[in-house]
Structure 1
Amino acid sequence: MQAQSSFPRFSHLAAALALAAPLALAANPAVTMLPAERNVGKLEQVFAFRGAMPTGVTVTETGRIFVNFPRWGDDVPFTVGEIRGNQVVPYPDAAINRADNPQGFLSVQSVVADGQGKVWILDTAAPGFSAPIPGRARLVAVDLTTNRIVKSIVFPSEVILPSTYVNDMRFDFRTGQAGTIYVTDSSVSGPGAIIVVDIASGRAMRRLSGDVSTSVDKSFVPVVEGKTMMNRAADGKTSPFGVASDGIALSADGNTLYFSPLSSRHLYAVPTPLLRDPAATDARIASAVKDLGEKGASDGLEADADGAVYATDYEHNGVRKRLPDGRWETIVHDPRALWPDTMSIGPDGYLYFTANQLHRMPGFNGGKDLRSKPYSLFRVKIDAKPAPTR
């Protein structure tokens, strides 16, 4: 019987030790305050998205904020919206955002304010990364005063391949009769490219199509949140994750276009006069491309009026800045910046960017959606103005 009576005493002792352990840890700062990564930059959450996943964001010269939601599988009631107070409303109206509208937006990947009173909308016409519907991939300009469409440019068929996925764009109104638009083709199955569009005529040219600078780096293996990122289907099949030219930025003087494949850590630059010259051969343009070295793995790029270039760093939850002398510095490193995507510099001296957890989508996780809402629009103070477009 004595052996049996020892069990209660042991239970009381174990319970006492279990209760005392947290108290001992709490009383010992050396145990509880373990070293950890330092955050860089003071992030402010501008908006929390509790519906569809956003990709693009743009801030106009008057401070209006527009976002877009590509139709990749989420319930997307409207693919372009404006943030007004504590809500996002369809822009420019609900009707043109209906997927069943034959004249409406199919799947918008990017929205960019041009600094001249308009916001431009880039419709991939490729919901779910399907082949683009013929004649529907286009650029649409909306006047910010009237909120009405004032220009629509359908991409010519010769620049939109069955594999094309138009991704991001930049504007220069110092060239041509009405300006020039540079667009990245970030194909996941074909050649990447820079598409150069003349606004006045609507003519377009594919440049650097399939060049090493616009193509997936075959040796690139991304690691996000400590996990190798690859396509992982629900049936267990896997394949490498590869996206061609994606991020794009135009220098303040308009003479240099910066770009990068999403599946690469390198930043490239090319003189814009060559891109616009119809007589320039692909070989000549390719020979003029400069590899500016590694910058981290980026989705979005941006440039400011002082000659700096910004690059998101989706492997390290951050944003990096390339100074005019070529040196890089980290301006954001924060565990909340889960897949920083598109950036935009506002008139208030802040850099805005979306964080949308793209790497947690089902296609990369065996069919399981690991995203956790809300998605965020963040900003960080940089005390710089956007690169001018005129």
Structure 2
Amino acid sequence: MMRSIRRLGLALASAMIISNGAAFAAASSNAMPHVEVVAEWNRLPYDLGDAQAEQAYQSNQTYKKVLLQGVKVDSHGTMYVSTARWGGPDVPATLSKLVRKNGQWELQPFPSVAMNKVGDRQALQSVLGFEIDRNDVMWILDQGHIAGQPSAAGAEKLILWDLKTDREIQRYEFSDADSDKKCSFLNDVVVDNDRGVAYITDSGIFCDHLHGGLIVYDQKSNRARRVLDQTVFTTDEAGFNFRIDNEPVLSKTPMRTGADGIALSGDKRTLYWTNLSGHTLYSLDTALLRNFETSEAALRTAVKRVATLPSNTDGMIADRSGNLYMTALEMNGINFRDAKTGAISTYVIHPEMVWPDTLSWSPDGSLYVVSGHLNKWVDNQMDFDHPAVPNFRIWKIEAHGKSYTTK
């Protein structure tokens, strides 16, 4: 299964450590923000409400197929995580709520076991990106693909789930014009509550050529539009050499991934994004994107190359003031872009923050981020028994910000 994913192109300072949730302090001329680990695992445990199923998960070593990718936090501080089914259909759930059980955090299928059933078009098939907005509505982006295979009918979709009432309030199934059911890799989503619009990156990795692009979704009309399809703005950069800890990512073929990290400014006027296989930060005026009558030519002309980043980026997020926080894969940390000056600086660097992925705001103004050693997982080199450091971590980082979704 892992070889199949690689073949299809799932190309997807110093520190003092006190483990088990204690603080991390980094040596720097400027003081780094307080950083702590709030959860960590060598292998991901599930609370399935079924002892036999949980035992089978362990005895069959299904945990080797499960990778932690995203984390989001609701207004009550509850953490939710995504585990896209890149390893196959036997991954127990692709979206989960973290619950304490037997003294550790476990993944409880969310919204339910039934809503994570493989093969049911009404259920979640493979969730990577999701967002929780200011109204505690979860915008769930289902990329549909199971282990890199073409998506089944209705599998690629966006579901809006109200956490307060625990029910689905809206869904949109992506048409063939929105996403290619063989090539697309729906990656991440940001939400404008003011106007009822979501912006989505498609990395387009499952074909010989990258099929990257952006998708704009209008909640009020329940329709979507694909833009910047297979352009220089949504594909990889020529000659990009992706290395982590001085080792190439993918040992046999270079990792190639299009549009990935995405962020919406606090005033909702600017959309930012990056391609994973590149160092360029792009932006576009959202007024142009929201207007489905804006021509493709006009959009391409309006794209701005904002900056050349010191590292490629997977996850991005903005605060209410428009400052950007961008995971830095080649640096094992997070970079910061000041909204007023445009200056880009190091925010957090830690040698064990390997492949920092999705970012999330918490109610107290802290940032949460997953580090999941994706580079080891995709190359089938992950040690699930005795790794040098835990394979999967959720970090909490001092930020004193407010989510971009707030008014």
| Same fold at TM > 0.5 | yes
Residues 242 and 254, structure 2, Cα contact 8 Å, conserved in 1:
no
Residue-by-residue CA offset, 1:222-263 (whole Å, 9 max, x unaligned)? 110111223x4xxxxx32210000010000111100000111
Q: 1:308 is aligned with what amino acid?
A: N
Residue 144 (1) aligns with residue 170 (2): no
Aligned twin of 2:52: none
Residue 174 (1) aligns with residue 188 (2): no
Aligned twin of 1:47: 39
Cα 1:46–1:203, aligned 2, differ >3 Å: closer, same or farther? same
Q: 2:124 is aligned with what amino acid?
A: F
- The 5 A counterparts of 1:81-160 are 81-85=96-100, 86-160=105-179
Q: 1:122 is aligned with what amino acid?
A: L
Residues in 1 aligned to 2:313 and 2:383: alpha-carbon distance in whole angstroms = 21
Residue-by-residue CA offset, 1:183-210 (whole Å, 9 max, x unaligned)? 1001113321110011122211111112
Residue 201 (structure 2) aligned to one of 160, 166, 184 = 184
Aligned twin of 2:347: 331
Percent identity, aligned pairs only?
A: 31
Aligned twin of 2:7: none
- The 5 A counterparts of 1:242-281 are 242-281=256-295
> What's the offset of the Cα at 1:130?
2.5
Residues 213 and 227, structure 2, Cα contact 8 Å, conserved in 1:
yes
> What's the offset of the Cα at 1:313?
0.4
Aligned twin of 1:219: 239
Aligned twin of 2:57: none
> What's the offset of the Cα at 1:374?
3.9
Cα RMSD between the aligned structures?
1.8
Aligned twin of 2:20: none
Aligned twin of 1:68: 82
Gaps of 5+ in 2: 1-25, 45-65
Residues in 2 aligned to 1:38 and 1:72: alpha-carbon distance in whole angstroms = 37
Aligned twin of 2:358: 342
Gaps of 5+ in 1: 1-36, 233-237
Q: 1:384 is aligned with what amino acid?
A: G
The normalised TM-score by structure 1 is 0.83
Residues in 2 aligned to 1:374 and 1:225: alpha-carbon distance in whole angstroms = 15
Aligned twin of 2:49: none
Q: 2:152 is aligned with what amino acid?
A: I
The normalised TM-score by structure 2 is 0.80
**Larger-Rg structure:** 1
Q: 1:301 is aligned with what amino acid?
A: M
> What's the offset of the Cα at 1:102?
4.4
Residue 308 (1) aligns with residue 323 (2): yes
Aligned twin of 2:401: 384
Q: 2:261 is aligned with what amino acid?
A: G
